[in-house]
Amino acid sequence: MKLYMDLHTHTMACGHGYSTLKENIGAAKEAGLQILGLSEHGPAVPGGPNKIFFSNYRCIPRQYGDLRLLCGAEANIMDLEGSLDLGEDILSRMDYVIASMHVVCVRAGNRQENTRACIKAMQNPRVKILGHPDDARYPLDYEALVKAAGEEGVFLEVNNASLHPESARKGGRENVKTLLLTCKKYRVPIILGSDSHICYTVGKFEEALGLIAETDFPQELILNCHPEQIDRVLAVNM
Ligand SMILES: [Zn+2]
Ligand SMILES: [Zn+2]
The neighbour count for residue 222, using CB atoms within 10 Å, is 22
Contacts with 86 (C-beta within 8 Å, 6 or more apart), sequence order: 42, 43, 51, 54, 73, 75, 97
Compute, in angstroms, the gap from residue 199 CA to the centroid of ligand 2: 13
- pLDDT tens track for 169-203: 887 899 999 999 999 999 999 999 999 999 999 99
Mean pLDDT, rounded, for 64-91: 98
pLDDT computed for residue 40 by the predictor: 98
Lowest mean pLDDT among 111-115, 124-128, 132-136, 163-167: 163-167
* 96 strand-pairing partners: 72
Mean pLDDT, rounded, for 69-83: 98
Q: Is residue 238 part of a domain?
A: no
Give residue 144's pLDDT band: very low, low, confident or very high (50, 70, 90).
very high
Ligand lying nearest the CA atom of residue 40: 2
- pLDDT tens track for 39-73: 999 999 999 999 999 999 999 999 999 999 999 99
Indicate if the pLDDT at residue 238 is higher than 80: no
Give residue 149's pLDDT band: very low, low, confident or very high (50, 70, 90).
very high
Compute, in angstroms, the gap from residue 128 CA to the centroid of ligand 2: 14
Q: Is the pTM of this model over 0.85?
A: yes
Q: Is residue 144 part of a domain?
A: yes
pLDDT computed for residue 14 by the predictor: 97
* Residue type (1 letter), 67: L
Compute, in angstroms, the gap from residue 27 CA to the centroid of ligand 1: 20
Compute, in angstroms, the gap from residue 108 CA to the centroid of ligand 2: 18
- pLDDT tens track for 24-39: 999 999 999 999 999 9
pLDDT computed for residue 98 by the predictor: 98
Compute, in angstroms, the gap from residue 74 CA to the centroid of ligand 1: 7
Q: How far apart are CA 179 and CA 62, in angstroms?
A: 32
205 or 172: whose pLDDT is higher?
205
Compute, in angstroms, the gap from residue 192 CA to the centroid of ligand 1: 13
Containing structural domain, residue 90: 5-232
Compute, in angstroms, the gap from residue 133 CA to the centroid of ligand 1: 10
pLDDT computed for residue 91 by the predictor: 97
Compute, in angstroms, the gap from residue 217 CA to the centroid of ligand 2: 23
CATH number for the domain that contains residue 47: 3.20.20.140
Total domains in the chain come to: 1
Compute, in angstroms, the gap from residue 158 CA to the centroid of ligand 1: 12
Indicate if the pLDDT at residue 131 is higher than 80: yes
Q: Is residue 128 part of a domain?
A: yes
Compute, in angstroms, the gap from residue 38 CA to the centroid of ligand 2: 10
Ligand lying nearest the CA atom of residue 39: 2
Compute, in angstroms, the gap from residue 55 CA to the centroid of ligand 1: 21
